């Protein structure tokens, strides 16, 4: 039993790290998109955002 709870704990930690990284990357990408929108046309920003999403 202890090994099962240990694995569950590791999975929880891994999920937490993944969510944190995803959030950090999303915020960074959003800032970059806004910066690009201010500097260039909306078409270029839309392309950038679509590349990041897919």
Per-residue pLDDT of the chain (54 residues; tens, 9 = 90+): 455 555 568 888 889 899 999 999 989 888 887 887 777 777 777 787 888 887
Find the angle CA(35)-CA(40)-CA(46) to the nearest 5 degrees.
80
pLDDT at 20: 92
Q: Is-above-0.95 flag for pTM?
A: no
Instruction: Give me 22's structure tokens.
Output: 């995803």
DSSP string, 4-51: HHHHHHHHHHHHHHHHHHHHHHHHHHHHHHHHHHHHS-HHHHHHHHHH
Give the C-alpha separation, 6 to 16, whole Å: 15
Domain range list for the chain = 24-54
């Amino acid at each position: 039993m202890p090994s099962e709870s240990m694995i569950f704990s590791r999975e929880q930690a891994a999920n937490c790290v993944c969510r944190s990284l995803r959030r950090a990357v999303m915020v960074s990408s959003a800032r970059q998109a806004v910066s690009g929108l201010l500097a260039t046309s909306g078409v270029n920003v839309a392309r950038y955002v679509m590349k990041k999403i897919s």
